[in-house]
Chains A and B, each alone.
Chain A
Amino acid sequence: MNREDFTILNNGKLIYFDNGATTLKPDCVRDTINDYYNIYTSNIHRGDYSSSLKVSELYDNCREEVRDYINAKYCCEIIFTSGATESLNDIVFGFFRHNLKKGDEVLITESEHASNVLPWFILQKEMGIVVKYISLNENYEVTIDNLQKAITNKTKVVSLAHVTNVIGDVRDIKNIAKICHEKDIFVVVDAAQSAAHEKIDVVDMDIDFLAFSAHKMYGPTGVGVLYGKFNLLKKMIPCRYGGGMNAIFNNDGYVELKDLPDRLEAGTPNIEGVLGLCECIKYIKKIGLEKINKYEHDLRKYLIDRLSELDFITVYNKNNNGIIVSFNINGVFSQDTAIYLDKYNICVRAGNHCAKMVKNVFNVANTVRVSLSFYNTKEEVDLLINVLKNSKNIWEEIL
């Protein structure tokens, strides 16, 4: 649905199934960014002229738009970053580095993206925290039972993707957070894969920190969001210092920082990125997240049903509830499959999808991943299936 909103979809025969890597951008996002460059280029919060005042106002309104989208209590709980990776790094190094001690345990899973693994590994090395893993069930999911088994009296943080990027399972964050908070455990959520597809309510779900990127939700690259509860965020130590975040500094080294959110946004921000993020959120709201969610899940079921007709395909996550499908043509390396599909303008991702520990879960290191969006159609799925059916000729096609 809404394919007419995307020039790129109307310019050729592109079948784009790599929405977990990045989504396509609707014309309204492109136009918003163009307007910033064509009509009112200027810095924010620094000029006394009309274009600067206008862009400052637009920029500040973006924070309200994001706040409303995730139902945060206050605008100042929304920090603009370069993306989910930077958000997660800032959460780990700006907050937890100063609030954990040696021996404290952080729980993640083996299906997390590198951005929710490596910062914790660094803290483990630097200060002796212990990274542990919640066991996944037979469908590669986090169960409440396994979470409770993994928690010890040293557990201080549970850091999980809302939706994982290889398996695509949707975690029950609300119940996970409830259990964690009963034991004074912080809850960090990587929402990179979910922000454009699943409803997020940080108050109802009781999330302490949240991270997501604009480019996986029809927005521009290089911009994202760090959400933190106000009382936690105000204890965060900035990872970057410079213009825009200081109130006073003197030659004797005295520095006074601004209040939230400015203190955590040093330097001129990615203004056109933030404006683009704002526009993509408006765009998603206009279509309706519930409608998107239903459409995408129906399409996912159709894709699984059709793939199941092919006895030479192994699907690794048939029983999950997300919109990511990982599979292989039996006996064919995933990258070769991706190159073959590209001959038919079908874009998929091959590999471990930045979740290098997932091989311990799937017992296969690399898969072909189809990640869906609302602009994908049953006709596109049918084309994929037809091309896969003809994959007996794969070597003639790619060699």
Chain B
Amino acid sequence: MDNDIKRSIILDNYQDNSNRIIPDNVSEYIKINSNNDSCIDNIDIYVKINGNLIEDIKYYGEACVIAISSTNILRNLLVGKTFDEAKNILRNYFNMIEEKEYDNHLLKEACVYSDISKQPSRKTCATLFARGISKILSQNDK
């Protein structure tokens, strides 16, 4: 992917605050905090589950451009998906970050982080949301 396009996707998602909020009906959401020991990224993730479906995700907190943009991109990918579909997307995402094989059709815009491994310190930024949501999915799998 061209660097200008990548940058544009990252910035669009960084600046999209529509889901960077604490939900009004917060009691209907499961909350988990995700932070990075090595830096200062820190977000709360709110997930609304309906049966085996991810109905909505919101997030709130402070983090760098990579952490926030990847949170927004993955949030948009996962809303409306079943647990199995979401886990599959996340598995592919982690594979991409770790330079293993992955399905780029599944990851769509999230492919902008395909070469993040060249900046090892930013891998934790790019997986801030993915690690948090994975915990929720494994804790609430029925």
Chain A CB within 8 A of B79 CB: no
Asked whether A350 is an interface residue with its Cβ less than 8 Å from the other chain, the reply is yes
**Contact at B62–A399, with CB atoms within 8 Å?**
no
Please judge, given known A-B contacts A336-B64, A398-B65, A399-B65, whether A351 and B39 are in contact too, CB under 8 Å. yes
State whether B40 touches A395 (Cβ < 8 A). no
Tell me the total A-B contact number using a CB cutoff of 8 A: 34
Contacts of B11 in A (CB 8 A): 395, 399
Q: Which residue of the partner chain, among A351, A352, A396, contacts B7 with CB atoms under 8 Å?
A: A396
C-alpha gap A137/B10 in the complex (Å): 40
Contacts of A365 in B (CB 8 A): 42, 62
Q: Within B69-111, which residues are at the interface with A (CB < 8 Å)?
A: none
In chain A between 249 and 298, which residues have their CB closer than 8 angstroms to a CB of chain B? Answer: none
Instruction: Report yes or no: B7 in contact with A334, Cβ–Cβ below 8 A.
Output: no
A366 within 8 A of B: yes
Binary interface profile of B, 35-71, with partner A (CB < 8 Å = 1, else 0)? 0000111100000000000000000001111001000
Cα distance A352–B40 in the bound complex, in angstroms: 8
Tell whether B123 is near chain A: CB-to-CB under 8 Å. Answer: no
Contacting residues, chain A, for B40 (C-beta < 8 A): 334-335, 350-352, 366
Measured CA separation A335–B66 after assembly (Å):
10
**How far is A396 from B39 in the complex, measured between Cα atoms in Å?**
22
Q: CB-CB < 8 A to A399: which residues of B?
A: 6-7, 10-11, 65
CB distance from B89 to the nearest CB of A (A): 23
Interface residues of A (CB under 8 A from B): 333-336, 339, 350-352, 365-366, 395-396, 398-399
Provide a sorted-by-A list of 30 A–B residue pairs whose CB atoms are within 8 angstroms.
A333-B62, A333-B63, A333-B64, A333-B65, A333-B68, A334-B40, A335-B39, A335-B40, A335-B41, A335-B64, A336-B64, A336-B65, A339-B64, A350-B39, A350-B40, A351-B39, A351-B40, A352-B40, A365-B42, A366-B40, A366-B62, A395-B7, A395-B10, A395-B65, A396-B7, A398-B65, A399-B6, A399-B7, A399-B10, A399-B65
